[in-house]
A and B are shown apart, each in its own frame.
Chain A
């Protein structure tokens, strides 16, 4: 089955700096890679996703890059703000089943 590894587990940056979170996956057939943001006590919210026919996708200050050869994908947040503080999860699909396997999460802290 699919295995998703996520690093780092915690990340602290100064406001205005960039933050990068990396994930690796094991199933070369995987073709969809979402990133979720979860604020304390709340539900995860999809912030960006990428499908395997593109290498990079941007949405304002957030970008995701995908390297299918190396089986890794990354979340990039530029000009970080205190409201970016949250736990971020990457995920990849388990074969053709439709369910997602999640990384263990990265707790991002943005210091003013």
Chain B
């Protein structure tokens, strides 16, 4: 749907657990991004990657990790160090320096 797929749609995490959110795109975009969305906070950048095997921290990277082993894939791991992980997570991709994002449908993560 839309060329960029996030899974799962809903995810529940226990205290102290690491969880991984999947993001896959078939748009041949070089750049991929992870944003976190909280009510009234807009979209805040976690990590981004402009090329395979390279990525940079965004404004709220603490407690998160990523990898970019393939152009199509940019998984996000929410570690136990992230103290308030309950949020809606959005993945996006774009042509580098073009800024026109295509968003995935999001993953809603809840700590139980």
- Tell me whether A and B are bound partners: yes
Which residues in A have some Cβ–Cβ distance to B below 8 Å?
A: 6, 9, 32, 34, 36, 42-46, 49, 89, 93, 96-105
A9 CA / B42 CA spacing, docked (Å):
10
A36 CA / B40 CA spacing, docked (Å):
15
Contact for A100 among B40, B41, B99, CB less than 8 A: B99
The reply to whether B42 and A46 contact each other, CB–CB distance below 8 Å, is no
For residue B90, CB closer than 8 A to chain A, the reply is yes
27 contacts between A and B (CB under 8 A): A6-B42, A34-B99, A36-B101, A43-B103, A44-B43, A44-B90, A44-B101, A49-B99, A49-B100, A93-B99, A96-B97, A97-B50, A97-B56, A98-B94, A98-B97, A99-B31, A99-B33, A99-B48, A100-B45, A100-B99, A102-B43, A102-B44, A103-B42, A104-B40, A104-B41, A105-B40, A105-B42
Residue of A nearest to B104 (CB): A43
Contact for B43 among A46, A49, A89, CB less than 8 A: A89
For residue B96, CB closer than 8 A to chain A, the reply is yes
Which residues of B from 33 to 57 have beta carbons under 8 Å from A? 33, 35, 40-45, 48, 50, 56
The reply to whether A44 and B42 contact each other, CB–CB distance below 8 Å, is no
Q: How far is the CB of A103 from chain B (nearest CB, A)?
A: 6
Which residues in B have some Cβ–Cβ distance to A below 8 Å?
A: 2, 31, 33, 35, 40-45, 48, 50, 56, 58, 90, 94, 96-101, 103-106
The reply to whether A43 and B42 contact each other, CB–CB distance below 8 Å, is no
**Chain A residues with CB under 8 A of B48:** 97-99
**Chain A residues with CB under 8 A of B100:** 34, 46, 49
A99 CA / B60 CA spacing, docked (Å):
14
**Chain A residues with CB under 8 A of B98:** 98
**Chain A residues with CB under 8 A of B50:** 97-98
Residue of B nearest to A31 (CB): B99
The reply to whether B42 and A99 contact each other, CB–CB distance below 8 Å, is no
**Chain B residues with CB under 8 A of A98:** 31, 48, 50, 94, 96-99
A98 CA / B93 CA spacing, docked (Å):
11
